[in-house]
């Protein structure tokens, strides 16, 4: 199959979260299954600075956009996946982050930026860019690609589309004035298309019009059909239940593998776990915490946003300190959460180490050195860090939601007996519930034999992309076949 994979971020070129990890590794896994998959992404300044051997392959004249847009072609570093960059300098060649300015406020022209991106994806998808390559299916990801399924639907003989929801909470909502300025078809402002509570919703376009919907874990696929997790879109999603599949994200074990990880001070695997102690020592030193292997070291690596339940962690800090445990946090995001964490760090410098910012090497060192990883998310479509933690022998404590529930097996008498326990789960989104699972983790931590078993079971888990990539390609084939049948069915209906 020919597949065009459209994403607004891709590791290792540009990353704000797990979407980049998925876009960097899933296409590689699908290429490994012998399909021609190509990734398309905006040519942000950050990417232009790093990408090598780019060639100009097309000039596009896009509707509603005065300057021509260029398509540059290259390869995704670390593999052989072909990359197309949508080069529209007024929209993407600027200092800052993909969706926000350097100080975190959304770019005021985001609707226009991602409309340009969608128009360019569409042009390539229908072979209007002169590339002499036509995808059978376009795999869209998140709201930034939400206009593409409807554009394809309105083009005769266009490829099929899949829309993957990585996070329903980010919807790409804009007011009518913005919609009007985009010069999109007027009938798109309708409850059957993009309108959502008097706003223009990019994600709704994808949800209504894609041939198939997927999300990044089976559990989140069920959850988003309910008001608690559906963000107001649960009615629409339930309506599409028959064409919604949850496919669990995988992990790129060439990047996240303590046996080969060059970011961490000392490599280790299941059989040389004693080396983890050296990583722990370096981590404690780095955060100026007392160096002592007997002290349980907790860790958080996260976007600091409401979704991640960071406030629950702030609430339990006094208890953690009382237990003489340590915590290191790496994250950035909401300035109130950043400030609160930093205040806690200065109040308890012997117990809490805070690093505000984005630092990939440090993220690996934390996975390598910590004992226990905290992820008390309010909701979590899949979550990747808990899966990385398993491989690093860093036992996850997670809320039982979304992909966290699909990937971590709670420690109980039964799961210890049948050797399936990999972590600690709690249900209610409250500080006491989080604290009671931390206490359970601490109790088991103090029993080395049992702890080693939990660590070992976690390290044995295999969440590599192979199975998920297979599921995606089976789905692509099904959706393409269904799409090809459609004109025939329409003909029969007319007769």
**Interacting residue ranges for ligand ADP, rule: CB under 6 A:** 17-18, 21, 301-303, 330-332, 358-360, 363, 382-385
And the tokens for 489?
Answer: 């069915």
How is the beta sheet containing 195-196 ordered, strand by strand? 173-174, 199-201, 195-196
Q: What residue spans of 287-424 are helical by DSSP H?
A: 310-322, 335-347, 360-369, 385-391, 402-407, 413-417
Judged by beta carbon, residue 289 or residue 301, the one nearer ligand ADP is 301
216 binds, among ligand GLC, ligand ADP, none (CB under 5 to 8 A by kind): ligand GLC
Q: Are 403 and 370 in contact (CB under 8 A)?
A: no
Judged by beta carbon, residue 296 or residue 331, the one nearer ligand ADP is 331
120 binds, among ligand GLC, ligand ADP, none (CB under 5 to 8 A by kind): none
Minimum Å gap between C-beta 249 and ligand GLC is 5
Among 388, 392, 372, 389, residue whose Cα is nearest residue 258: 392
Q: Are 214 and 166 in contact (CB under 8 A)?
A: no
Minimum Å gap between C-beta 183 and ligand ADP is 32
**Complete DSSP assignment for 251-275:** B-TTTS-TTT-TTSSS---GGGGGG
And the tokens for 141?
Answer: 């990801």
Minimum Å gap between C-beta 166 and ligand GLC is 3
Judged by beta carbon, residue 112 or residue 367, the one nearer ligand GLC is 367
7 binds, among ligand GLC, ligand ADP, none (CB under 5 to 8 A by kind): none
What DSSP character marks residue 423?
Answer: B
Site for ligand GLC in 194-233 (CB under 6 A): 216
And the tokens for 343?
Answer: 């205040």
Query: Which residue's entry shows tokens 């210890």?
Result: 416
363 binds, among ligand GLC, ligand ADP, none (CB under 5 to 8 A by kind): ligand ADP
Judged by beta carbon, residue 214 or residue 437, the one nearer ligand GLC is 214
Region at 127 (left for phi over 0; alpha for psi -120 to 50; beta for the rest) = left
* Three-point CA angle 204, 208, 212, nearest 5°: 115
Judged by beta carbon, residue 158 or residue 425, the one nearer ligand GLC is 425
171 binds, among ligand ADP, ligand GLC, none (CB under 5 to 8 A by kind): none
The residue from 245, 249, 411, 473 that contacts ligand GLC (CB under 6 A) is 249
Judged by beta carbon, residue 18 or residue 135, the one nearer ligand ADP is 18
Minimum Å gap between C-beta 438 and ligand GLC is 21
Q: Are 60 and 46 in contact (CB under 8 A)?
A: no
Stretch that binds ligand GLC, among 11-19, 97-105, 172-180, 414-422 (CB under 6 A): 11-19
- Under the binding rule (CB under 6 A), the answer on residue 17 touching ligand GLC is yes
Q: What is the distance between the alpha carbons of residues 392 and 371, in angstroms, rounded to a whole number? A: 9
What DSSP character marks residue 13?
Answer: T
Which residues are near ligand GLC by CB under 6 A?
17-19, 22, 166-167, 216, 249, 380-384, 403
């Amino acid at each position: 199959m020919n597949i065009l994979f459209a994403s607004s971020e891709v590791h290792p070129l540009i990353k704000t979260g797990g979407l980049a990890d998925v876009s960097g590794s899933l296409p590689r896994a699908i290429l490994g299954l012998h399909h021609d998959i190509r990734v398309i992404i905006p040519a942000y300044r950050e990417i232009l600075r790093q990408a090598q051997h780019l060639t100009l392959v097309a000039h596009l004249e896009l509707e509603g956009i005065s300057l021509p847009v260029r398509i540059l072609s290259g390869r995704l570093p670390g593999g052989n996946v072909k990359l197309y960059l949508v080069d529209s300098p007024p929209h993407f060649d600027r200092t800052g982050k993909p969706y926000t300015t350097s100080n975190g406020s959304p770019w005021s022209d985001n609707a226009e930026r991602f409309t340009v991106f969608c128009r360019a994806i569409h042009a390539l998808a229908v072979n209007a860019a002169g590339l002499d390559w036509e995808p059978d299916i376009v795999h869209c990801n998140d709201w930034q690609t939400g206009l593409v399924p409807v554009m394809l639907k309105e083009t005769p003989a266009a490829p099929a589309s899949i829309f993957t929801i990585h996070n329903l909470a980010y919807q790409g909502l804009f007011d009518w004035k913005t919609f009007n300025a985009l010069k999109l078809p007027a009938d798109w402002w309708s409850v059957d298309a993009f309108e959502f509570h008097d706003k223009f919703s990019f994600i709704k376009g994808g949800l209504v019009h894609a041939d198939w919907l997927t999300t990044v874990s089976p559990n989140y696929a069920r959850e988003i059909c309910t008001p608690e997790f559906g963000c107001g879109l649960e009615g629409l999603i339930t309506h599409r239940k028959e064409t919604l599949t949850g496919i669990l994200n995988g992990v790129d074990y060439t990047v996240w593998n303590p046996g080969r990880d060059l970011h961490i001070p000392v490599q280790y695997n299941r059989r040389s776990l004693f080396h983890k102690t050296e990583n722990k020592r370096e981590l404690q030193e780095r955060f100026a915490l007392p160096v002592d292997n007997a002290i349980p070291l907790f860790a958080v690596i996260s976007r600091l946003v409401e979704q991640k339940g960071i406030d629950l962690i702030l609430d339990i800090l006094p208890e953690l300190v009382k237990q003489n445990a340590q915590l290191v946090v790496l994250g950035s995001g909401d300035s109130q959460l950043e400030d609160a964490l930093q205040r806690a760090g200065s109040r308890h410098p012997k117990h809490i180490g805070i690093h505000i910012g984005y630092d990939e090497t440090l993220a690996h060192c934390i996975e390598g050195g910590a004992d226990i990883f905290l992820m008390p998310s309010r909701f979590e479509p899949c979550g990747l860090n808990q899966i990385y933690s398993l491989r690093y022998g860093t036992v996850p404590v997670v809320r039982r939601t979304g992909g966290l529930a699909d990937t971590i097996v709670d420690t109980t008498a039964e799961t210890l007996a049948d050797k399936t326990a990999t972590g600690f789960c709690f249900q209610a989104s409250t500080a006491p519930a989080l604290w009671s699972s931390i206490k359970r983790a601490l109790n088991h931590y103090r029993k080395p034999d049992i702890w080693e078993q939990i660590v070992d079971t976690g390290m044995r888990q295999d969440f590599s992309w192979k199975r998920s990539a297979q599921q995606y390609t089976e789905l692509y084939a099904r959706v393409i076949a269904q799409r090809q049948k459609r004109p025939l069915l329409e003909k029969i209906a007319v007769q």
